[in-house]
Structure 1
Amino acid sequence: MRKYQMTGVEEGTQARQEEHAASSGPELLRKKRTTQAERNTCQLYIQTDHLFFKYYGTREAVIAQINTTSDEKDPTNPFRFPNIGVEKFLELNSEQNHDDYCLAYVFTDRDFDDGVLGLAWVGAPSGSSGGICEKSKLYSDGKKKSLNTGIITVQNYGSHVPPKVSHITFAHEVGHNFGSPHDSGTECTPGESKNLGQKENGNYIMYARATSGDKLNNNKFSLCSIRNISQPICGNGMVEQGEECDCGYSDQCKDECCFDANQPEGKKCKLKPGKQCSPSQGPCCTAQCTFKSKSEKCRDDSDCAKEGICNGFTALCPASDPKPNFTDCNRHTQVCINGQCAGSICEKYDLEECTCASSDGKDDKELCHVCCMKKMAPSTCASTGSLQWSKQFSGRTITLQPGSPCNDFRGYCDVFMRCRLVDADGPLARLKKAIFSPQLYENIAEWI
C-alpha cells in the first residue's frame, strides 16, 4: 500500500525504505505478475461513502458519476462506522469483488491520521500482489480480496482540500496502481533541488509528500514514473514490444492461440505453431485463431468517428473514418475536428470560445455557460443563450460539462451549473493556525 500524505514532517530515507518494505500487503498463496491492463481503455469503478455524500449535501450532486452509499445505518454499507483508520478503510474496499473493473476507488470525507489523503495497492513486476486489474483471490489470511483498489479523502486536518489537490491525489494513487513507486533522486524530485530554476517548477505527481497543484510539474508524471509504468511484461494481457501475443498467466489464459506467461522463455507470449493470430492482439481475431472477415464490426461509432470494420488481414481494428468536421459532440458543447471531439461549438459559427467571468460584469448564472466571441474581439464575449448570439444558437443556452473550469479558471462548474470558486490558499491558511517551529514552517510554505 502507498499513502499520499500532506504533512509537515520530513521523511527520513530509512523510514521511506521501511514503509516500502512493509507495504507489500498479505502474502499471496501463489505469486504471479499482477498489473494487467486491457489495451488502451481502463474501466473504473468509483463509489463514495455516506460521509462524502453528507459533505456535498444532495444525491443529485454525485449521482451522475458515482454510486453513493448515503445511509450510515445501512447494514450493507461496509463504511458505515465513523472511526475507521485509513488501512482498514482500504481493506474494506478490497474485500468487495471488483473483477469486472480495472480499478475500484472509494471517495470519502474523513480526516485520516498523519494527513493521509489517499492510499492504494501498488502494481509491481516482481510478483507481489496489487495493482491494476488484479483479480479477487484468496490470501494467506483466509480472506478473498481485490487489490486493484484505492481510496481518496477530501478532508485533511479538519478542513477540506481544494479540488485540484484531490485531483492530484487521485492521479498519484492511480500511478501506484499502474506500478509507479514514489519519485526519488535528483532527476525526479526537482522541487527539492538547490537550483532555483528547477525548484520553481515543483515536483511531479508521484512525489512522496504534498504539492499545491499550481506548479508546472505538479500534474505531470516524471521520467521515473513513466519508465516504471511502461515497462513491458509478459502476462499483463497487453501486447507490448517483443511479444507476439499476451493472454495472461495459465489460470487466466483462455486463448488457444497463444502460449501463456507461465511457459519457458522463448515460448511465452508467442503464437502457437500454425496459428494466424490471437484475440489478445485485437478484436479482429477469432477464438479459432484466424482473422475475422472484412464485413465484421470491431468498434462502435462515436460522436466523431464511424464504426470500425475489420479488414480481413490483421487482428487490429483499423482506424475509423471520421465524421464530417463541425459535427456536434460532447453533448453539443464541442464539434468534431478530423475525427476528434476537439473544437468548441463556437467554431461552428466562425466564432471563438471565451470565458464568461464575473470581473467582466457577467451574471453569475452565466459563468457555467459556453460563451463565444467574434474573433479577436474579447468585448463581444457573451453566453450562447444571449440575444447577441440568438441567430446562431436560436436562443438555446449551452452549458459547460460538470467539472469544467469557470470564471476565468477561478473555479469549477458543479452539476447544478454553479461556479464553485477554489480557495487556492486553503492549505496554507490552515497551517498558519497550527503551531510549528519557524524552520519547519518555512519548509511547509515551500511545499505548499
Structure 2
Amino acid sequence: MLYSGYFIWIFFSSWGIIAGSVRTLPHVMKYQTVVPQKLKESSLINGASTQIYPDVLQYSLTIAEKNYTLHLERNKGLVGKNFSVTHYSDQGAQVTTTSDLRVHCYYHGHIVGVEDSSVSVGLCSGIKGFVQVQDQMYLIEPLSGAEVGQQNHRQSSDTHNDEGLHAVYNYNHLRRKRSSCSHGNTTTFYDHGARPSGLFQLGSLKSRAQTKDHTVKPRTVELVLVVDYTEYKKFGSKKTVEARLLEIANHVDKLYRSVGVRVMLVGLDIWSYRDQIQVSSNPELTLGRFLEWRQRNLLPRTKHDNAQFITGVDFEGSTVGLANTNAMCTSNSGAVNEDHNNNPIGVASTIAHEMGHNLGLSHDSENCVCGSLISKKGCIMAESVGLVYPQTFSSCSHQQLSRFLEEVNPACLLDIPSTDRIFGGPVCGNAFLEPGEECDCGTAEECKNPCCNATTCKLNAGAQCAAGECCQNCQLKPTGSVCRPKTGECDLAEYCTGFSASCPIDAYTQNGLPCSRGKGYCYNGQCPSRQEHCKKLWGPDAEVAADACFYLHGNCRKKTLFSQRCSSSDQSCGTLFCSGGWDFPVTSRKLFYKVGNGDICNEATMNPEDNYPADLTMVPTGTKCGNNMVCYDHRCQDIKSIKVYGKNDCSAKCNNHGVCNHESKCHCDPGWAPPFCNVQQSELPQAAGLAVFTVSLVVGLLLLMVLGIGSFMYCIRKRRPPKRYSKKLFFLLVSDHFSVYMKPNRQNLVCCPPLIAAVLISL
C-alpha cells in the first residue's frame, strides 16, 4: 500500500512537470501523447545529413498502439521559384517581397509497408499535419516547444525540436464548427444546384474531348492565398500567418496529387493593415467582391490560375465556403473560405473542396464510392465539409474531373512550370517532367503508372513511353492512330506519328471553308453564327431577333465610354439582339426594346467591372454576313481581304494526301508526313536519320583527328633538337588529362588536352 501511494505520488509529480512545459489543446477533445523518434539512418538516404531539412527523412511513430515508420520527402513542388509575399505597412502601403525559399520544412510521404497511406506534415517546430492509415486519418501536433511558425526560418538545427512530446488524435476528436459548402449565384445553401459560370460554353476556351485519360498530361494549379485583416489579427504576426498558409497549401497539394493535379503556391497576400474589400458575413457578397478585387488588383501583379480567400469572419449559418463552378482559368477562378478551426487541416479541406467546384466537381451523391472509406463523408466533395475532414476524392469526383479536363481542357493548367520556376530545381518524384527524366509519376506510393520507375524516373524495361495520347500499354501507338478526333465539320482529326507519345498540335480546317450547309464559314475550328451565339447567351430556346432590331440599335465598336453606331453595311456585325430563351442572359444584365411591329429586341449587357470578354455581347467574329463575306473587327468584310483566311488553292501543295489547316499548312492524311504530305511516315528515314548522324559523327571525328595531329605535330616541333626524340609513344593517364611523353628524354613532357589525346589513341 505504501508502495502504491509512492508510485501515485511520483506519477502526478512527473505529470505536473510535463504539464507545466506543454501547451493545452482546447480544440481537441482527447488525444494520445507520443514522442516521435527520428531514424538516424534516414538522414543518410540522400547523403544530406548536414541539411537543416533533408530531402528525405524517416520517423518512428506510435499511433493507436501500433508502431509505424513515416517516410517523408520534402515537397519541392510546393512553391514556385519567384514565390512572393505581399503585406501592407502601418501606413497602408503595399509591400511585396520575392523569395526562392531555398529551404522549407514541409513534407509529403507515406507509411512504410502500408499501401493505402498518406502523410502531409510540417517540421518547422515539431511535427504538425495529418497521417492517413488506410481508412483512418490522424492529426499530429507538438505539445512542447514554440508555436508552429515562430521558428519557420531558423538557420540552425540546434533548435529543431521534432522529437518532443506530441499529440496524436483521430480527426473525429477535433472540435469544429458544423459546416457546409455552397456554390452558386443565388443561394448559399449547399443542396441547391448552381448555375455554371458559362464562360467555357461561351468559347473563351475551345471545348473538345482530347483524351479519355486525364492523367495523360500533368496539370498544375498555380495558387495564391489571400487572408483578410480579421484572420491576420487572430494569429498576430505576419510570420505566423505565412507559416500557417504554407502548411495549408502543403495539405491541399497532397490531397490533389492523388488525381494527377499539383497545387503550387506562387503567392501570399496578407491584409495586415486593413481589408482591401468589404468582408461580409454573407459569403455570396464576399465572393463577388473578392473576385472583382482579384481581377482589378491581384491578376495584374501576380500570374496565377486560382485565388483562395481565407477570412476570420464567421459566415452566416453553417456555410464555410463558396465558389463558382467550372471557373478554373477564368476571371472567376477563386473561392472564399472561413478559417473555422485552429488546426489548418480544417480550412485546407474547405479550400480543396471549393477548388473542386472551380474544377467542375459537384457534391457527392449516394452512388459515389470513396475508396476504402465506409462513410462517404470522408470524401473531399462530400456535401458536409468540416464535420468529417476529407481524405480522398470519390469515384464521382474522378469521373467529373476527367470530363472537365477533356471537354473544357483549361489551358492554364497545362502551363507546367519550367524547371527554374520549381522550388529546389529538378527532382525525381514531384510529378513534373524535368530535364534528365524519361517520366515522373510522383512518389513511390502515388505512382500507378506501370511504365515508369518512380524511384529513378526512367522507363521500365521494354517500355517505349509512359504517358501521352499516343502511348498505350507503355508502347507507342501505330502510325495513323487517331489521337484527337474531330469535334465538328470545322475541325481536323489528329493522328499519331508512330515516333512520339504526344499527339500533334491541335489544328482546324482552313478558315473560310463553307459550313453548316452553306450558312456559315469556318473560323478557328468553329462555324460561328448569330443563332448559336444567342443560344449561348440566352439559353437553348433563344432565337435571333428581327432584322429591325439591328437596323435601329446596332453598335459596332466602342470609343472610350461611348458606342459607335454601325454603318448600314455593318449592321449585322455589331451588337447581337435575340428573342426568347431565359429571362436574363448569362451576364445577368439586359436591355430590351420594342420595334414598330411589336417584336422584342433583347440585348445582353455587362457591368464595366464584370469579368467577361469585351465582345461577349457582339456578333461573333467569323459570322457570315453575305456571300464570301464575314464579320471581322465588327465590320462585314470580303474573305479575300482578310489575312487569316487562306487561299482557295492552298491545299494544292499537299499532293492530294492532305488539306490546308487554319494556319495554311498541310494537315496530312493518316500515314503521310508533313510538310507537303508527299512522303509516307512508314518510309520516313529513321535509318537515314541515323545515317546522317553517323556521317556527321565520322566527319566530326575526321576534323578532330586533323586537329589532333596538327596540335601534336606543333607540340613535337616546339622541342629541339628533334633527332633526340624516340619514335615510340607512351600514354599516361593522369587525372583529367593525358600526359604524352617520349623516351629516352623524360624531361620533354608534352601535356595534351583530353580530346587531342583521345584522337591520338584512336590513331
TM-score range relative to shorter protein: 0.3 to 0.5
Q: Which structure carries more strand by proportion?
A: 2
Larger Rg: 1 or 2? 2
TM score, norm. by length of structure 2: 0.25
